[in-house]
Chain A
Amino acid sequence: MHLESFLAQAFIYLLAAVVSVPVAKRLGMGSVLGYLIAGALIGPFAMGFIGKEGQDVMHFAEFGVVMMLFLVGLELQPKLLWRLRGPVLGMGGAQVLGTGAVIALAGWAMQYPGKQAIAAGLILAMSSTAIALQSLAEKGLMKTNAGQSSFAILLFQDLAVIPLLAVLPLLSSHAAKPEAEHAHGHGFAENLPGWQQALLTFGAVALIVGGGRYLIRPIFRYIAKTQLREMFTATALLLVVGTALLMQAVGLSAALGTFLAGVVLAESEFRHELESDLEPFKGLLLGIFFIAVGASIDFALVASQPGEIALWIAGMVLLKGIVLFLVARFSGLCLPESLLMACALSQGGEFCFVLFSVAQSGGALPGALANKLTAVVALSMAVTPILLLIYEKLLHPRLQKRENEREADAIPETDNPVLIAGYGRFGHIVGRLLAVNGIESTVLDLDSEQVDFLRRMGMKLFYGDASRLDLLHSAGAAKAKLFILAIDDEEKSLKIIETVKHQFPHLTILARASGRLHAYEMVRRGAHYIYRETLGSSLDLGTEALRLLGIPAHEAHHAAKKFRDFDEGNIRCMAEVWFEHKDGDEYVNAARDQIAEMEKLFAVDAEVRERPTDEAWDTESLRREALGEEDSAPNS
């Protein structure tokens, strides 16, 4: 490619990305969908800025997937990977074989020859690592069970590509020699006898593991010493490219090889630096990859038979989704997580494009079918972000609600003097302190997992919503003395205060406030005692800090106490100012005055107007008096 045309290309790609991705993000669609739309827009079937070279760009950009797997590997310590071996083999195996079988059956039912149906089934079992991982990571869902399981399945699929490449030619209806041209799996080792191939493969893996462990670290250390940041980046890129080339040479998946290299380096001290150096490359290359996918969708084909294509897409996504959902449920994932995984992995993957072309050239699939399926896969990639959006906005909240619709527990009649609402990290400690001092409390909590867990540990608590009047009644609010409000839902806690104040005016309310403004709201609603949840530990920390800076423990302790008394007192009067002049400068001015007053209170000079109580220990005045007159006071 000439430099000019290269720059022009780059300009178009980047412009498309810069225009469409932020818009897509803004609309809540996620970046992947943004890239795909951008690609479709600039592709040959819309504006036509880019044409046939889209395929080449795609091969180039597939390197983004390789890099992504390296980064994924970096995140995965070998220990974690070993822990995932069960899900990888179990869930991954079940998903690939299950999906392959179901789609093959569907194909067979549609009168396609058996071998073609099986080939299509196995290929369509692949999901898109790029789309799934990118989307899940973007929504912060990678650490969830669904995220981890998705990852395990994707890992298995990457592994499965290698045997698939070997199996596809066998499914050919006429004997044709497969072309060895693609990034995934065909190298010079192809022409060697089997045992040599095996040896080479083994040697390459050993080289990555051994090299990663003993060679790469000293190299990085040496490079790091040069203090040239771009050298570090260059070395990181060199490492990934080198690994990818090595893997291709011996006929393994480049993505898999770099993933392995990532895992090996996951425990090295350069992990974070490698991550931050490669992250932008990965992001850009993946973006280009998605754009290329978008551009390569054959809209002419789609336009000629839109109904059928749509049906195929829907069918494939549905079949994949059902298999994924069943796999997830059988592996013990809960309903929302199973659905999430089904949505995230229901598209066809980037490996499909590779496998289709291999299958086509090998004669396993006729060209027309392969083209159609390619369009189906590409469009299905655009479906995933939409599915995830639906899941997030519609399904998830409803499922959560259903989870919350667990019947409230029946509470036996008690005369416990204390009623605690909320037994998370805050209420829990209050309850335990009371319990070890022999005071029984009735506890309500709305987190069913927490309730079950603590019950198993032998604690008595009940599942139920403390904002429900009937539940407060059955929890013995009429007989109790104290109501401890320790939930973390700000809105709800205010509502509960109102209910309790109104229905059970005899109860003393001790409330947990999230912060100052929340505390103001509580003051207004008449909570008797208000505790900002972080005040205590902040002051503890501050006290320790004072002490470490050389202030005697007792003085530090007193300083914190003085601070606390002042601050707590000022919450009440500031609350009034806040509600009277919410928008004006009055609040700011009042707050300033308070701060100034506090500073004055702590000032040690003799002109302190308001004398704190422990100034009696200060003998300055006595000293002056003694120096002036005769002895008059006994304190020294």
Chain B
Amino acid sequence: MKRILVLFAHPRLRRSRIQRALADAVRDMEGVTFHDLYEAYPDFYINVPREQELLAQHDIIICQHPFYWYSTPAILKQWEDLVLEHGWAYGQGGTALCDKWWMHVMSTGGSAETYCCAGQNRYTIRQLLAPLEQTAMLCGMTFLPPLVVHSSFRISDLELHEHARQYRLLLQKLRDGQLTAADLLGADTLNLEL
């Protein structure tokens, strides 16, 4: 059984429909540590040793967050800046995260179609995630394709429910080792067909 750490970041959870539903779907799963960063560090004062210990204790790191300005909410960036220390996460002797898996679970306002060179957002999700992907690579981690909930303002409750169900299913399979990296790496996203 693999241990999964969900690094959750939403600054205003009470007013979020999508992220709350997704979070509720996996929050209490066995083998999953759900870690709400804004709740843990309301003042952005991140406890680095504690975070590093958490990372060391888990095999799969999942960043769950809304897609803000083509990136993560601020606290996740702060977290990266402080926790992924040189000599620990990368560089000489920095092997703490080697061979762990890294993955993003995100929601975007725009539809899937807008994320292409002809669309309004001009780049694909994978292109936009390049800095994060490279961060994972530098730390020796395997960067899995993201799970993306698009059109977050428009999807129906039913669709949202389905997304949440699939998210939970995906974590179950990852946890129980039913998916290998090879199964996953080819895909653009891990969104299953609705």
Partner-B contacts on A (CB < 8 A): 551-558, 614, 617-620, 622-623, 626-627, 630-636
A553 touching B39 by the CB < 8 A rule?
yes
Say yes or no: A631 contacts B38, CB within 8 Å: no
Shortest Cβ gap from B77 to chain A (Å): 15
Query: Is B154 an interface residue, CB under 8 A from the partner?
Result: yes
Say yes or no: A626-B153 contact (C-beta < 8 A), given A631-B120, A634-B67: yes
A622 near B39: Cβ-Cβ < 8 Å? no
Q: A553-B42, A634-B67 are in contact. Are A619 and B110 (CB under 8 A)?
A: no
Q: Which 5 A-B pairs have the closest CB atoms?
A: A557-B42, A554-B38, A626-B153, A553-B42, A554-B42
Q: Which residue of B lies closest to A543 (CB)?
A: B42
9 A-B pairs within 8 Å (CB atoms) are namely A552-B38, A553-B40, A554-B38, A618-B12, A620-B15, A634-B121, A635-B67, A635-B69, A636-B107
Contact B38 A635 (CB under 8 A): no
B140 in contact (CB, < 8 A): no
Residues of A within 8 A of B107 (CB): 636
Whole-angstrom distance from the CB of A606 to the nearest CB of chain B? 12
Kindly identify which residue among B12, B18, B120 contacts A636, using a CB–CB cutoff of 8 Å.
B18
Whether A634 lies near B110 (C-beta < 8 A) is yes
User: Which residues of chain B are within 8 angstroms of A631 by Cβ–Cβ distance?
Assistant: 109-111, 114, 120, 151
B13 sits at the interface (CB 8 A): yes
Contact B108–A634 (Cβ < 8 Å): yes
Task: State how many angstroms separate the Cβ of A482 from the closest Cβ of chain B.
Answer: 24
With contact pairs A622-B109, A626-B153 given, residues A554 and B11 touching in the complex (Cβ less than 8 Å): yes
In the assembled complex, the Cα of A626 lies from the Cα of B110 at a distance in Å of 8
CA distance A634 to B70 in the complex (A): 7
Bound Cα distance from A619 to B109, whole angstroms: 9
Q: Is the CB of B38 within 8 A of A553?
A: yes
Report Cα–Cα, A617/B38, bound state, in Å.
13
- Evaluate whether A635 and B109 lie within 8 angstroms (CB atoms) in the complex, with A617-B12, A619-B153, A623-B153 already known: yes
B120 touches A632 (CB 8 A): yes
Query: For residue B13, which residues in chain A have a CB less than 8 angstroms away from its CB?
Result: 552
Known contacts A626-B109, A634-B110, A636-B67; A555 and B14 CB within 8 A of each other: yes
Which of B12, B66, B114 lies at the interface centre, i.e. has the most chain A CB atoms within 10 A of its CB? B12
- Write out the residue numbers on chain A whose beta carbons fall within 8 Å of the beta carbon of B16: 619
- Across-interface contacts of A557 in B (CB, < 8 A): 42-43
Contact residues in A for B106 (Cβ distance below 8 Å) = 636
A636-B108 in contact (CB<8A): yes
Q: Which residue of A551, A558, A636 is within 8 Å of B109 (Cβ)?
A: A636
A58 to B121, CA, bound (A): 99
Shortest CB–CB separation between residue A621 and chain B, in angstroms?
10
Complex contacts, B41 vs chain A, CB 8 Å: 554
- With A554-B38, A622-B109, A626-B109 known, 5 other A-B pairs at CB within 8 A are A626-B154, A634-B109, A635-B68, A636-B108, A636-B153
CB proximity of B156 to chain A, nearest CB, Å: 12
| A546 nearest CB across to chain B (Å) | 11
A630 to B68, CA, bound (A): 18
B152 at the A interface (CB under 8 A)? yes
Q: Which of A614, A622, A633 contacts B11 (CB 8 A)?
A: A614
Closest chain A CB from B136 CB (angstroms): 22
Chain B contacts for A551, CB-based, 8 A: 14
* Distance (whole angstroms) from the CB of A190 to the closest CB of chain B: 77
- Nearest-Cβ distance from residue A620 to partner chain B, whole angstroms: 8
For B102-119 the 0/1 string (1 means CB < 8 A from A) is 000011111100100000
Chain B 75-97 per-residue mask, 1 if CB under 8 angstroms from chain A, else 0: 00000000000000000000000
Interface contact B154-A627, CB-CB below 8 Å: yes
> Which residues does chain A contribute within 8 Å of B14, judged by CB atoms?
551-552, 555
Within 8 A of A (CB), among B142-165: 151-154
| CB neighbours of A614 from chain B (8 A) | 11-12
In the bound complex, do residue A633 and residue B109 qualify as a contact, i.e. CB atoms below 8 Å apart? yes
Q: Which single member of B15, B39, B151, B154 contacts A554 (CB below 8 Å)?
A: B39
CB distance from A563 to the nearest CB of B (A): 14
User: Interface 1/0s, chain B 7-51, versus A by CB < 8 A?
Assistant: 000011111101000000000000000001011111100000000
Q: List residues of chain B with CB within 8 A of the CB of A619.
A: 15-16, 109, 153
A545: shortest Cβ distance to chain B, in Å?
A: 14
User: Chain B residue with minimal CB distance to A631?
Assistant: B110
* CB of A411, distance to nearest CB on chain B (Å): 37
Point out the residues of chain A lying under 8 angstroms from B154, CB to CB: 626-627
Please name the residue on chain A nearest to B121 by beta carbon.
Answer: A634
Which of chain A's residues have a CB closer than 8 A to the CB of B121? 634
Q: How far is the CA of A623 from the CA of B16 in the complex (A)?
A: 11
Given contacts A619-B153, A622-B109, A627-B153, A634 and B39 within 8 Å (CB-CB)? no
Asked whether B110 lies within 8 Å of A556 as measured between CB atoms, the reply is: no
Chain B neighbourhood of A627, CB < 8 A: 153-154
* Residue among A558, A620, A626, A634 having the largest count of chain B Cβ atoms under 10 Å: A634
Chain A residues lying within 8 Å of B110, measured Cβ to Cβ, are 631, 633-634, 636
Chain A residue with Cβ nearest B70: A634
Smallest CB separation, B160 vs chain A (Å) = 13
Would you call B39 and A636 a contact (CB within 8 A)?
A: no
User: Shortest beta-carbon distance, B65 to chain A, in Å?
Assistant: 9
Q: What distance in Å separates the Cβ of B17 from its nearest Cβ neighbour in chain A?
A: 9
Q: In the complex, A487→B26 CA distance in Å?
A: 54
CB-CB under 8 A from A623, the residues of chain B are: 153
Are B152 and A556 in contact, with the CB atoms below 8 A?
Answer: no
Q: Collect the chain A residues with CB atoms within 8 Å of residue B38's CB.
A: 552-554
A622 contacts across to B, CB distance below 8 A: 109, 153
